[in-house]
Structure 1
Amino acid sequence: MRPSALLLSLAVVALLVAAPALLSASLLNAAIQMLIAALFASAFSLLCGQAGMLSFGHSAYFGLGAFATIHAMNAFNGAGLLPTPLLPLAGALMGLLAGIVAGWFATKRTGVYFSMITLALGELLHALAPHLKEFFGGEAGISAMRMPAWGLTFGSTTEVYYLTLGWVLLSLALLYFFTLTPVGRLTLGLRENQHRLRFLGYNIHTLSVLVFSISAMFSGVAGALQALNIEAANYVVLDMQLSASVVLNSFIGGVKVFLGPAIGAAIMTFFGYAVSDLTRSWLLYQGVIFVLVMMFLPEGLVGELVRRLREGRVGFSPSRIAAGLVFAAAVVIATLGFICAVELAQRFFSSDYRATVGAAGWPPVELFGRDWGPFQIVTWVVPLGLMAAGIALLAYSGRRLGAEHGGEA
C-alpha cells in the first residue's frame, strides 16, 4: 500500500473511531448499517471483482450467517465458547460451510450459467426457509438478546457500533491481505484467463470453490453483525432484494478497486436512510443513480476517480475549476428538475390523490411549499425546463472539460 493511501486509511479509521462522539443515536445506527453493508459488498467483490464470478444469490450466505448467530446467542447466552464479541465466528463458520457446498456446484459452470446457478440456489433457500421452522423460525423469525461479556453490557448503540467496527476493520484487513497472497493473485487469473491457468496446471474448480467459500464466509460475518445489531433474524434477509442491492452497491463503487464496493455500499446505504423517509420513490432514484453510473462511469465512482488520478487527469487550473463548477451547477439543476417531475407524477398518480378527485375537479398538490395543479402548464414546464437547462449545461461543461484534458495532452 502506498504511503499516501496508508495515511488516508488511518485518517478514515480515526474518524470512524471518533464517530460516536460526533453523531446522534439515529446517525450512529445508520453508521452501523453502513459498516455492515460495506463488509458485505467487499465480501461479494472478492468473488465478483477479483475472480470475475457474478453471483446473484449472495444474500443466502448473509442470511445463514445471521440465523447461525441468533441460534448461537440463544445457545451460549454470551458466555462460554462464544461470548458476545466472538459470536460473528458462528456466522463465519456457517457462511464458510454453505459456501463450500454451494460453491462446489455453482463453480462447475462459468459466466451466465454460474450466475443462474447462484440465483437458483439463493431462491431455493428463500423458498424453503418459511417451512424449515426449526432453524428459520417460520414467518415470525427468531429473536435473541445480546448478553454482557468481557465487562461490557452491549446494551448501548455505542458498544454495538464499536463491536461492528472492530469486526468490519478486521475482516477488511483479512480480505485485503488475502488479495496479496499467491492464491489471491491467482484469483485474478480466474477473471482474466482461466484457460491459461488450466494450461499452467492449476485446478480451476478447486481455486474457484476456495474463493467462493471465503467470500461466503465474510458474507456470513456481515450477516452475523446484522443479527447482533437488531437481535433478530427473519427469512426476509434471504430475499433477492438483498442480493440485488449488494450487486448494485458494489458496481456503483467500482468492483475493480478494493475499497470501491465498500464505499459504494456505504454511500447508497446512507442515501436510503436519508431519502426513504422523504419520498416513496427513493428506489427509483437509486435505480437511476445505478444506470447513470454504469452509462458514464462504468468503472464506478471510486474506480473512475482512481483511474483519473493515475492518468493525471485531476487538475486544479482556473479554467478547469470554472468548468467543474458549471458542471456541478448543471447536475444540481437537472437533478432538481427530475425530482420535481417524479414527485409530481407520483402524487398525481397515487391512489390517495385519486380518492380526492370528485365533482369539484382535480385538486392541486403541495410540493416545495407551492400548490401545483395537474392541468396547469407551469406544473410541467418548470421541471421539464429545469431538466433541459441542466442537460444543456452538462453538455457544455463536458465539452469544456474534454477540451482542457485534450489541451494538456
Structure 2
Amino acid sequence: MRSKAVFLLLAVAALAAAPAVLSPGLVNAAIQMLIAALFASAFSLLCGQAGMLSFGHSAYFGLGAFATIHAMNAFSGAGLLPTPLMPLAGAFIGLVSGMAAGWFATKRTGVYFSMITLALAELLHALAPHLKEVFGGEAGISAMRMPAWGFTFGSNVEVYYLTLAWVLLSLGLLYLFTLTPVGRLALGLRENAHRLRFLGYDIHLLSVLVFSVSAMFSGVAGALQALNIEAANYVVLDMHLSASVVLNSFIGGVKVFLGPAIGAALMSFFGYAASDLTRSWLLYQGVLFVLVMMFLPDGLVGELMRRLRQGNLSFSPARLAAGLVFMVALGVCVAGFVCAVELAQRFFSADYRSMAGTGAWPPVPLFGREWLPFSLFTWAVPLGAMAAGLGLLTLAARRLDPDKAGVA
C-alpha cells in the first residue's frame, strides 16, 4: 500500500513539473492526454466497474463541452462562473443528460443497451448541425477564457495546471465512488445482476445512478476540452470519439482503475506523434488494439498487474536474455510491418497513380532510399523482416512464459 502511495506521489510530482521541461507543443499534447485519461476513466466506471458497454459516450463529452462554451459566453462574455469553475457547467449538463439517457438505455442490458446508447448519441450528432442556437451549426461556437483568481489563462501552461487540477480531483472522486456501497454494488451489476435483483436491490435505479456519474465526469472532460481550445463543434459528438474511448480503455485495461487513464494517455500521445509522420497512423492504432485484445485481453496495465500479483516478473539472467531477444525481435517485426505499410500506402496513393498514369512506374522514396515498386527486393525486405521477427518472438515467448508458448 505504501509503495502505491509513493508511486502516485511521484507521478503527480512528475506531472506538476512537466511544463518546465516540455515545449509548448508538447504541453498542449499533455493537456489532450490528461483530458483523454479522464474521459476514459469516466467511461471505465460504466464499462469496467458496472459491465455496461456504451457506444455513445461522446454525447456527454460533447454536451459538457457545449455547456461550458455557453457558460463562458454568458453575461456578454463575463462568464457564468469564474474560469477555474467552468467545468462545473459540464458536470451539471453531463449529469442531467446522463440521468435522462440512462433511464431509457438501462431498461435493457448487453448488446441492446449498447445499441441504445449508440442510437441516442447518433441522434444527437445528427440533430446538432440543425440546432444552430444551441450547437452553432457546422461552424460551432467559440468563446474566450476570462482572467480569474489572479490568473490570465492566456498561456498553455496555466491551462495545463487547471486541467491537471480538475483531472486529479475527478480521478480521486471516481476512485472514492468505487469504494462506496453503491460503487461496490456496481461490481455486482457486472458479475451477476440477477443475484442483486434476487437480494432486493433496484437494478434499474442502480444502473441509472452509475450511468449518470459516468456521464457527469465525461461532461467534465468535455468542459476541459472546451476550455483548452476555446471552441466547440458538433464534431465532438461524433461516433469516432465514442470508438476512441472504447479502444483506449480496453488497451489500458478496464478492470484496473488507472488502466483506462494510462491507455488513453499513451494512445493520445501515439496519435500526436504518429499523425505528423504518416497518414496510416489510424491503421497502426487499429492493429495495436487487435494485438492487445488477442494476446493481452486484460490490457497493458491489467496484464502487468496480473503478473505482479502472480509473481511472474522474475529477473533471472535467462529471463533477462529472453526478454532482450523478445524486444529486439519485436522491433524487427514492427520495422518490417511499418516498411510494408508505408510502401503500400505510397504505391496506392493518388499522387503515385497520377505519375504512373503516364506509363512510367517511378521508384517510391522511403527511409532515405528509392524502392522499385515491382522489384522482388522491395517487398522481400519488409516481409522477410516480419517473418524473422515473428520466429524470434515465438522462441523468446517460450523462454519467457512456457505455459503460453502458443500465444506468440
TM score, norm. by length of structure 2:
0.98
2-structure distance, mates of 1:280, 1:364: 19
Question: Partner residue of 2:236?
Answer: 237
Letter in 2 for 1:344: L
1-structure distance, mates of 2:129, 2:348: 35
- 1:6 deviates by 1.0
For 1:1-400, list aligned pairs within 5 A: 2-76=1-75, 82-359=81-358, 361-400=360-399
Q: Work out whether residues 77 and 147 of structure 1, in 8 Å CA contact, stay in contact via their aligned partners in 2.
A: no
Any stretches of 5+ residues in structure 2 without a counterpart?
none
What SS does the aligned partner of 2:378 have?
helix
2-structure distance, mates of 1:369, 1:64: 46
Q: Work out whether residues 54 and 117 of structure 2, in 8 Å CA contact, stay in contact via their aligned partners in 1.
A: yes
- 1:187 deviates by 0.3
1-structure distance, mates of 2:205, 2:358: 71
2-structure distance, mates of 1:251, 1:74: 37
* 1:150-172 deviation per Cα after TM superposition (whole angstroms, max 9, x unaligned): 01000001000000000000000
1-structure distance, mates of 2:302, 2:83: 37
Please provide the CA RMSD for this pair.
1.3
1-structure distance, mates of 2:320, 2:360: 51
Q: Work out whether residues 255 and 302 of structure 2, in 8 Å CA contact, stay in contact via their aligned partners in 1.
A: yes
- 1:360 deviates by 5.2
Q: Work out whether residues 76 and 82 of structure 1, in 8 Å CA contact, stay in contact via their aligned partners in 2.
A: no
1-structure distance, mates of 2:381, 2:100: 56
Count of aligned positions: 405
2-structure distance, mates of 1:197, 1:311: 31
User: Percent identity over the alignment?
Assistant: 79
Letter in 2 for 1:313: N
Runs of 4+ residues over 3 Å off in structure 1: 76-81, 403-406
Change (3 A) 1:130 1:80: closer
Q: Work out whether residues 313 and 405 of structure 1, in 8 Å CA contact, stay in contact via their aligned partners in 2.
A: no
Letter in 2 for 1:57: G
Letter in 1 for 2:99: I
Q: Work out whether residues 59 and 124 of structure 2, in 8 Å CA contact, stay in contact via their aligned partners in 1.
A: yes
Letter in 2 for 1:176: Y
1-structure distance, mates of 2:147, 2:344: 51
Any stretches of 5+ residues in structure 1 without a counterpart?
none
Q: Work out whether residues 252 and 262 of structure 2, in 8 Å CA contact, stay in contact via their aligned partners in 1.
A: yes
- 1:357 deviates by 1.2
TM score, norm. by length of structure 1:
0.97
Q: Work out whether residues 74 and 80 of structure 2, in 8 Å CA contact, stay in contact via their aligned partners in 1.
A: no
Letter in 2 for 1:203: D
Q: Work out whether residues 54 and 114 of structure 2, in 8 Å CA contact, stay in contact via their aligned partners in 1.
A: yes
1-structure distance, mates of 2:75, 2:23: 32
- 1:200 deviates by 0.8
* 1:232-279 deviation per Cα after TM superposition (whole angstroms, max 9, x unaligned): 000000000000000000000000000000000000000000000110
* 1:301-355 deviation per Cα after TM superposition (whole angstroms, max 9, x unaligned): 0000000000000011100000000000010000000000000000000000011
Change (3 A) 1:143 1:81: closer
Q: Work out whether residues 76 and 83 of structure 1, in 8 Å CA contact, stay in contact via their aligned partners in 2.
A: no
2-structure distance, mates of 1:372, 1:405: 39
Letter in 2 for 1:366: P
